[in-house]
Structure formats: C-alpha cells, structure tokens
Amino acid sequence: MFPSGHYERRHDMHVFNRVINWLTLAPRAAEIVFADGTAQVTPINWLPIRGVCQSVRPTFECPACGRNAFKLFYVDGWFSGCYRCIGVPYASQQRSRKGRSRLQAARLRMFLSSLPDDTKAPAKQPLMFRRTYARLLNRLQKLEAQAHSRRRRKPITKQLSYKVLRPITAYASQRHAVV
C-alpha cells in the first residue's frame, strides 16, 4: 500500500470501511479523510528491521505518546492512540486463571488442527517431527486438565473471534513448507 518513490498513493476506503472515505499514504505521513469530511494527518516513521533482510517497516507515530505503533485505535471519531495509551487489554488479561488455560489450549489446538473446540486428540501434521507432536500434545492435555470444569461450558469459538484464537507463536516446532 505504501508508495515506493517520493509521491502519494490514494486509496478509496469507503467500500471496505464506513468510517473512512479516503486514505492517502505518502512516505512520511498518512492522511485519513473520514466520512463526515474531517481529515487527520498522522506521521509515519520507518523502523529498521535488522537481520538477514536488512529492510525497513512503516509505523505510525502515536498522536498521544509519540511512540511507534503498528496499529492506531479509533476512539471518539479519531485515531487517538496506540494500545498503551487507549488501554486495550489483551484477551488473556480479560480471563480468569482457568479461562487463560482454556484460551491457551484453544490456540494450541488451532495450531495443531484448526479446530479449537474439538475434543479428540488432533492428528499429527505431515511435516511435524514426532517428538514435537508428542511434546505439544502433552502440553495440550495439561492445559485442558487445568481448564477442566464440571459444568457444561459454551464453545470458545462463540466467545472469541478467529483473530484472538490465532496461534501467537510457532510453539518451537520445526514445521516448514516444502520448497
């Protein structure tokens, strides 16, 4: 979406988003034109990525604290700030101790089989080592034992979106695509 040269690129957003009409991206700033006609200009900083690729990644400058942020939150008609300024809690921070174990188990199950509410043991993935599969299955059984309760519970997919249930890490597995 970002322009590669020294020019601006304008994106029509009202098809995808009712709040934003236009998004104009330039190398140093993003201009957001809202549906009511007001505009907000947010500075863009380029964060260096170290390692093998040696590239840069665009980040927004938070209007409230001035830190680099990959995501700004829309509150009261403006993109007001980053998750630190707005105080957006993580999904695990909104859960009890058993709820956190259940959330971890659902994420691990999604990593292994893409079915977070299944009760059977997930099948081994084709490119996963047996020891890794056994370790992850053992971890899943421990998490489900911690989260076990006697009363009937609703499926976790009814309570949380797919984005929250997405696995955050690769669980130290060696599963890679075959090239």
Q: What are φ and ψ of residue 35, in 5° steps?
A: -65, -30
12: its two tokens: 């029509």
Q: What per-residue confidence (pLDDT) applies to 160?
A: 67
Residues 26/14, Cβ–Cβ less than 8 Å: no
Residues 6+ apart with CB under 8 A from 176: 127
**Could you give the CA distance from residue 40 to residue 30 in angstroms, rounded to a whole number?**
8
Domain boundaries, the chain: 9-86, 91-165
**Could you give the CA distance from residue 1 to residue 24 in angstroms, rounded to a whole number?**
10
Residues 118/105, Cβ–Cβ less than 8 Å: no
Which regions of the chain does DSSP assign to beta strands (E)?
9-12, 20-25, 29-34, 39-49, 55-61, 68-69, 73-75, 78-81
The tens-digit pLDDT sequence of the chain (179 residues) is 666 666 788 889 888 888 899 999 998 999 999 999 999 999 999 999 887 778 888 999 999 999 999 999 988 888 989 988 988 887 778 888 788 888 888 888 888 886 766 778 888 888 888 999 999 999 988 888 887 765 556 666 656 666 677 776 777 665 444 43
